[in-house]
Amino acid sequence: MSEQTETGALRLENVTKIFGQGSSQVRAVDDVSLTIQSGEFVTLLGPSGCGKTTTLRLIAGFEFPTSGRLLLDEKDIANVPPNLRPMAMVFQSYALFPHLNVFENVAYGLRLRKMPEAEIKEAVNIVLHMMNLVGLERRNPNQLSGGQQQRVALARAMVMKPKLLLFDEPLSNLDAKLRTQMRMEIRRLQQRMGITSVYVTHDQMEAMSLSDRVVVMNRGKIEQVGTPEEIYQRPATMFVADFIGRANFVETDVLALDGRLAIVDVYGQKVQLACSPEIRVGQKAYAMIRPEAINLSSRTSNYMAEVKTAVYLGNSVEYEVEIEQNLLKVVDYDPTPGMMFREGSFVSMTFDPERSYLLPK
């Protein structure tokens, strides 16, 4: 298998998918437009029912769009049946063929291409080697561990040298440790092969660690497209802010605006925050403050908050503190041993404006 495979660029133009008829209609994908560069790793991220899987299945051809265009390397593929699309998919359930052994599973697609037996053997062996599956060729899928099954599924897709690799929550059935490990492996392989990849997950950690760009979806629509940093630090909407990591929202007035910096009043103190382009002076807005951006200390200050709950998690401590009838989430990633604040105690609170962001109401 050559390291450099021919790979594709994908464009979705105003794609809409409606399920059901009449009053029971559901707009699963609502006017989605997206461009994916050749070789790029893009993740569709969102809660269940947000349309990410449907979008992936539209790309794969298992569903057909109600309207809109789907272009692979600028060719409209909206009506190409799934088996003729140069893509390979890795399924959440792995979807290994239970009646075929590992080798036959991987060789399946190549056999359909009527590739000579010797070439099939070679190609399969390379992929199996790459995926650390050597020695398991004759096993049946039910004799493999979850991680092994996942690697077979990956090998089966890779061996096809597709223009586009599609992943449908491939790691969600694995335990936490294995998940992390496989995540790295997928990223490594993708980087090495350079295959354009679309990856669906509801796990933000996965999305952040794997992707060149993340597409956050909600209710069939795209909320934001951006690099992992962008969507974490500069979320376009409250939904994104809340979905990617955790966030506190403090209602505030926009006092002044200087380019993409705004002066706002947070609990009586004027601070300068980076802001979304929709922010206008005189409007109400929300200051998004990440829990780790808040600092608690035992000193006395103007910002006194009451500790409502305190949970010790080993490498961190999580608090809920109350200030002006608002409950704020606080994470201390560097707790001083023996210096945990007790529930009911009053603490002084500061936050880092650099790690906060202003969103329109």
Partner 1 sequence: MQSLSLNRSLREYRRLASDWTLLLGLVVVVVFLAVAIVWPLLKILGVGFSADALALYRKYFSSPVYLRIMWNTVELGLVVGAVGTLLGFLFAYVQVRLDVPLKKFMNLMALLPIISPPFAVATAAIVLFGRGGLITYQLFGIRNNLYGFRGLVLVLSLSLFTVAYLNLKGMMEALDPALDEAATNLGANKWAVFRTVTLPMLIPGIAGSFLLLFVEAIADLANPLVLGGDFTVLASRVYIAISGEYDTLAGAVLSLILLVPSLTVYLVQRYWVSRKSFISVTGKPSGRHQSIRNPLVRWGLFAVVMLISLLILMLYGTVVVGAFTKLFGINFDFTLANFEFVIMGLGSQAMGDTSAMSAISTPIAGLLGMVIAWLVVRKSFAGRAVLDFVAMLGIAVPGTVLGIGYLLAFNAPLKIGNNVLLPALAGGTALAGGWIAIILAYVVRSVPAGLRAGVASLQQIDPAIEEASISLGADSSVTFRKITLPLIRPAFFTGLVYSFARAMTSLSAVIFLATPEAKIMTAQILNEVDAGRFGNAFAYCVILIGLVLAVIGLLYVVVGTSNGVERDLGRAR
Task: Using CB under 8 A, pick the residue from 12, 28, 34, 87 that binds partner 1.
Answer: 87
Could you say whether residue 75 binds partner 1 (CB under 8 A)? Answer: no
For partner 1, the closer CB: 109 or 353: 109
Task: Give the C-alpha separation, 117 to 101, whole Å.
Answer: 16
Instruction: Determine contact, residues 222/32, Cβ cutoff 8 Å.
Output: yes
Nearer to partner 1, 47 or 81 (CB): 81
Asked if 285 and 262 touch (Cβ cutoff 8 Å), the reply is: yes
- CB under 8 A: which stretch of 48-56, 76-84, 276-284, 311-319 binds partner 1? 76-84
**Residues touching partner 1, count (CB under 8 A):** 33
Considering only 4, 79, 315, 336, the residue that binds partner 1 (CB under 8 A) is: 79
Q: Is 64 in the site for partner 1 (CB under 8 A)?
A: yes
Radius of gyration of the chain (CA): 24
Q: Please, what is the minimum distance in Å from the beta carbon of residue 94 to partner 1?
A: 8
| For the chain, counts of helices (H) and of strands (E) | 8, 20
Distance of closest approach, residue 61 Cβ to partner 1, in angstroms: 8
Cα(162)–Cα(164) distance, integer angstroms: 5
| Residue spans of alpha helices (H) in the chain | 52-60, 102-112, 117-130, 146-158, 176-193, 204-210, 228-233, 238-243
Residue from 5, 16, 66, 272 touching partner 1 (CB under 8 A): that is 66
Using CB under 8 A as the binding rule, the residues of this chain from 5 to 24 that contact partner 1 are: 21-22
- Dist. CA 207–CA 199, nearest whole Å: 8
Stretch that binds partner 1, among 151-159, 171-179, 274-282, 327-335 (CB under 8 A): 151-159
- Using the minimum distance from each CB to partner 1, give the nearer residue, 166 or 358: 166
Q: Is 133 in the site for partner 1 (CB under 8 A)?
A: no
Q: Which is nearer to partner 1, 93 or 326 (CB)?
A: 93
Binding of residue 268 to partner 1 (CB under 8 A): no
In whole angstroms, what is the distance from residue 284 CA to residue 326 CA?
17
CA distance 358 to 342: 31
Q: Which stretch binds partner 1 (CB under 8 A): 27-35, 42-50, 85-93, 199-207?
A: 85-93
> Which amino acid would we find at residue 28?
A
Tell which residue, 11, 1, 2, has the closest CA to residue 196: 11
Give CA–CA dist 345/72, Å, rounded: 60
Task: State in angstroms the smallest separation of the CB of 89 from partner 1.
Answer: 4
Measured in degrees and rounded to the nearest 5, phi and psi for residue 355 equal -100, 25
Taking the complex as a whole, how short is the minimal distance between the CB of residue 340 and partner 1, in angstroms? 41
Interacting positions 156-175 with partner 1 (CB under 8 A): 156-157, 160, 166, 168
Q: Which stretch binds partner 1 (CB under 8 A): 92-100, 124-132, 320-328, 337-345?
A: 92-100
At residue 180, the 3 state secondary structure works out as helix
Nearest distance from C-beta of residue 336 to partner 1, angstroms: 47
Determine if 176 is a binding residue for partner 1 (CB under 8 A). Answer: no
Contacts of 172 (CB under 8 A, 6+ apart): 92, 201, 202, 203
**Member of 81, 122, 246, 260 binding partner 1 (CB under 8 A):** 81
CB-based contact 211:219 (threshold 8 Å): no
List residues near partner 1 by CB under 8 A. 21-22, 60, 62, 64, 66, 79, 81-85, 87-89, 91-93, 95-99, 108-109, 112-113, 153, 156-157, 160, 166, 168
